[in-house]
Structure 1
Amino acid sequence: MIDEGRRQAALDAMGILDTPPDERVDRVARLAKEMFGVPMVSVSLLDRDRQWRKSQIGLDGPEAPRADSFCDYTVRENRAVVIEDATALPEFAANPFVVGDPHLRFYAAHPLYAPGGEPVGTLCIVDTQPHPFSDGQAALLKDLAFWVQTELAKDQELDHAAVVQRAMRPRELPQLPGFTIAAAGTARGQLSGDFFDLSLRDGRLRITLADVMGKGTGPALVAAGLRASLRTAPERSLAEAIAEADRLIDADLGDTGMFVTAVHAELSADGRLDLVDAGHGLAFVVRADGSWERMRSLGLPIGMGSGDVEERRPEATILEPGDCLICCSDGLLDVVDPEDPITEVTRILRELGPDGAVREAVRRSRDPRATDDITALVVRRDA
C-alpha cells in the first residue's frame, strides 16, 4: 500500500499541477501515439480527487475524475499495468470509463515517480479497440515514462531556478531625486542570460545591464556570478569592477568560449554619467531635442579582455533635463524596425515615457519574431 499523504505531498512539492503545456512532454506523447498506434495518450498526475493531464492526445480536456480511473489503479498498484481488453476482465468490465466515454478497451501505463520515489502519475496509452501488448512494447513504454519523468524533474528544477533569478532582481527600483528610472527583463525560456541591476550609494546610481552569450541554464548561472562580482566592493571604480569581472570570467570559463557583453555605469545627482561598455554597444543617450548619441568605451566583452583596468576607461557625458539614458539587450533588436531601430525606440520613448517604453519592450517579447531574452532600462533626467 502506498502512503497517500506522502504521495500527495510529493506531488504538491513538484509544483507541476495546473502548469502550462510543455513541448518537451508533448513530444514524448506524440511519439508514444505513433510508436504504439493508439488514438489516445496521456501524461496524468493524480491529484486529490482528479487526474490532471500535463499532456494529452485524443482525450476530453485536461482533467477527469480520479475515482475509478485506470491511472488511479496504476498508481495505487505502483507498477506497470497492461489491460489488453477491459471488457474481458470482471474487475474492469463495469468501469464507467469502459461502459461510458471514452469506452476504453485497451490500456497500458507505467507509473511516473517524484524525486523521492513516490508514484505521482502515469504515462498511459489508450484505445477503444482491444490490443495485444508484448514484453518489448512494455519495455519501450517504461523507457518513454522515464523520459517524461526526467522532463518533469527538469521543470521543477527550472521553476525553482526561475524563482531565485527573479528574487535577484531589484525588488524596488531605487529613487534618485530628479530622475525617472524604469527597467524590466523577460526570458525567452524559463531562465534568462540577461540581467539588470540598479543600486544607490552615496547619492550615485550604479547601473548594470549585461547579456551572457546564449540563453538557458548555463548563461543564467554565469549572469548570477557576474552580478555578484560587480556588486562586491561597491567602492571600486567602474573600470576596476569590470576588469575584475573580466579576470574571473576568463579564469573560470575561458576554455568554454563563453563571454558577456555589458554596460556598467554610474550616474550622479548633477547628471554626470560615466559608462563602461564591454562589447555591448547598446547604450544611448537620447537628448531632449530628439537627437541621440551612442555611449561606447570600445572595450571587449567580459571574458575576452585582459583584465586590464586601463582598457576599461569609462566614457563620460552629462544628462541635461529631458535627456534619457537607454540600455537594452540585443534581443530587443528582433522586435523593432531593423532599418531604423533608434528612431522607433525614440518615438516610443517620447510617446510612452520611460515606464511605458519598458512595458512595451516586455510586451514585444511575445512577438513571434522574438528569439532571445529581452531586457530594457531607461533613466530620464526630469525637466
Structure 2
Amino acid sequence: MIDEKKRQSALDAMKILDTPRDERVDRITRMAQELFDVPMVSVNLLDNDRQWSKSSVGLGSRETPRKYAFCESTIQQTGTLVIEDLKQDEAFAASPYVEGAPHLRFYAGHPLQAPGGEQVGALCLIDTKPRELDEQERDLLEDLARWVQTELAQQQELDHAVVVQRAQTPRNLPQPAGFTVTAGSAPAGCVSGDFHDVVLRGDQLRVTLADVMGKGLGAGIIASAVRASMRTAPERSLQATVAEIDSLLEQDIGDLHMFVTMFCADIDTRTGQISYVDGGHSLSFIHRADGSWEHLESTGLPLAMGMGEPHELNTVQLHPGDALLSCSDGLLDLLDLEDPYGQVEQVLREQGLEGAVEEALRRAEQAKAPDDVTVVVVRRDS
C-alpha cells in the first residue's frame, strides 16, 4: 500500500511540477514513440488531484484529473502495467478517454521513482488500437523509464547546485572610495566552472578570478572549493594563499588531469598599487586612462599541475582613470580577435563600465557561448 503523504512529499521535493519542457526528457519520449511505433507517449507525474505531463508527444493538454489517470494504477505496482485493450478491461472500459475522444484502446506504463524510491509517476505508451508488448519490448520500456528517472533526478541535483553557486556569487560588490567595481558571470550550462570574488578588508581590495578546466557540475564543485579556500584565513599573504590552494588541488584532483587557471590581486585602495599572482590565466589587463592597454602576463603554471615552485608575486600601478580588467577565456569566443582591444574600448566608451560588463554577459547568453564567461573590472576613479 502506497504512503500517499510520503509519495507526495517526495514529488514536491523534486521541484519538477509545472517546470518548462526539458529537451533531454523530450528526446526520450520521441525515441519511445519511434521505437514502439505508437501515436502517443507521455512522462506523467501524479500530483494531489491531477496528472501532470513533464513531456509528451501526440497529446494536447499537459494535465488531466488524477481520478481518470491510467498512471494511477501504474504507480500502485512495481513492474510494467500493460492493458492490451482498454475497452475490454473492466477497470478502464468506462474511462471517458476510452468511451469518448480520443477513444484510447492500448496503454503500457512503467513507474518512475523519486530518489528515495517513492513512485511518483510513469513513462507510458498509448494507442488508439489494441496491441501487445512482448518481453523484449517490456524490458525496453523499463530501460527507457529508468533513463527518464535518471534525467529527472539529475535535473534536481543541477537545480540544487545552481542555487548553491548563485548564493556564492558576490551580489553586493564592495565600492571603496575612489573606485568603481563591477563584475558578472554567464555560465555555458546550468553550473559554471568559472569563479570570481571581490572582497574588501580594510584598505585592501582582493580580486579573484578562477577558471576550472571543463564545464558543468564537476567544474562547479571545484570552483566552489577554490572560493572556500580563498575566503579562509584572510590574514595569509597572496602568495601563501595561492600556494596552499595549489597544493590542495594537486592532492585532490591532480590525478584527474584537471587544472585551474587563476588571477588573484590585492589592490591597495590608498595608493592604487596592485600586487598579483597569475597562475596560467594570462587574461588580465590594465586599461590606461590614455586609452593604451597593458597585458599582465602570467608568470606561473595553472594550479593542480604540480608546479612545485611558488607562484611569483608581481606589482603594477593603477593610476586615476585606469581600470583593471580580468576575464575568463569564454569571452574570447565573443570578441573580434583581429582587434579585441578596439572592440572592448568601443563598448566601454559607448556603454560605460557597468554597461560593458552587462553587454558581455548579454552577448554570451544571446550567442549561447560554448564556454563560461566571467568579467571583473575595477577602475580607480580618483
1:185-209 residue CA offsets vs partner (Å, 9 max, x unmatched): 1221221110101111122110000
Contact 1:29 1:56 in 2 (8 A): yes
| TM-fit CA distance, 1:76 | 4.2
Moved more, 163-172 or 36-45: 163-172
Q: Which runs of structure 2 are paired with 1:231-270 in the superposition (5 Å)?
A: 231-269=231-269, 270=271
Contact 1:45 1:52 in 2 (8 A): yes
Cross-structure match for 2:301: 300
| TM-fit CA distance, 1:55 | 1.6
Cross-structure match for 1:139: 139
| TM-fit CA distance, 1:241 | 1.7
Cross-structure match for 2:221: 221
- Gapped regions of structure 1 (runs ≥ 5): none
Cross-structure match for 1:380: 379
| TM-fit CA distance, 1:127 | 1.4
Give the residue type in structure 1 aligned to 2:132: P
Contact 1:243 1:307 in 2 (8 A): no
Change (3 A) 1:312 1:62: farther
| TM-fit CA distance, 1:72 | 2.5
1:3 and 1:205 map into 2 onto residues whose CA distance is: 55
Q: Which runs of structure 2 are paired with 1:187-202 in the superposition (5 Å)?
A: 187-202=187-202
Moved more, 190-199 or 78-87: 78-87
1:19-47 residue CA offsets vs partner (Å, 9 max, x unmatched): 23333222222221121111211111112
Cross-structure match for 2:50: 50
Change (3 A) 1:346 1:273: same
Cross-structure match for 2:359: 360
Give the residue type in structure 2 aligned to 1:350: R
Contact 1:69 1:97 in 2 (8 A): no
Q: Any idea what SS the aligned residue of 1:52 has?
A: strand
Moved more, 21-30 or 204-213: 21-30
2:193 and 2:266 map into 1 onto residues whose CA distance is: 22
Contact 1:196 1:209 in 2 (8 A): yes
Q: Which runs of structure 2 are paired with 1:57-68 in the superposition (5 Å)?
A: 57-68=57-68
Q: Any idea what SS the aligned residue of 2:157 has?
A: helix
Change (3 A) 1:356 1:110: same
Give the residue type in structure 2 aligned to 1:367: Q
Moved more, 20-29 or 40-49: 20-29
Q: Which runs of structure 2 are paired with 1:85-234 in the superposition (5 Å)?
A: 85-234=85-234
Change (3 A) 1:328 1:64: farther
Cross-structure match for 2:345: 346
Cross-structure match for 2:70: 70
| TM-fit CA distance, 1:305 | 4.8
Contact 1:284 1:294 in 2 (8 A): yes
1:301-346 residue CA offsets vs partner (Å, 9 max, x unmatched): 112252433x4222x2222222211111111111222322222222
Contact 1:243 1:312 in 2 (8 A): no
Moved more, 256-265 or 65-74: 65-74
Contact 1:297 1:312 in 2 (8 A): no
1:104-131 residue CA offsets vs partner (Å, 9 max, x unmatched): 2211001111122211111011112221
| TM-fit CA distance, 1:61 | 4.1
Q: TM-score, length-normalised on structure 1? A: 0.93
Cross-structure match for 1:287: 288
Change (3 A) 1:110 1:342: same
Moved more, 355-364 or 274-283: 355-364
Q: Any idea what SS the aligned residue of 2:234 has?
A: coil
Q: TM-score, length-normalised on structure 2? A: 0.94
Change (3 A) 1:199 1:101: farther
Give the residue type in structure 2 aligned to 1:290: G
Q: Any idea what SS the aligned residue of 1:321 has?
A: coil
Cross-structure match for 2:328: 329
Change (3 A) 1:60 1:292: same
Give RMSD over aligned pairs: 1.9
- Gapped regions of structure 2 (runs ≥ 5): none
Give the residue type in structure 2 aligned to 1:275: Y
Contact 2:188 2:368 in 1 (8 A): no
Question: How many residue pairs get matched?
Answer: 381
Contact 2:213 2:260 in 1 (8 A): yes
Change (3 A) 1:150 1:324: same
1:225 and 1:93 map into 2 onto residues whose CA distance is: 58
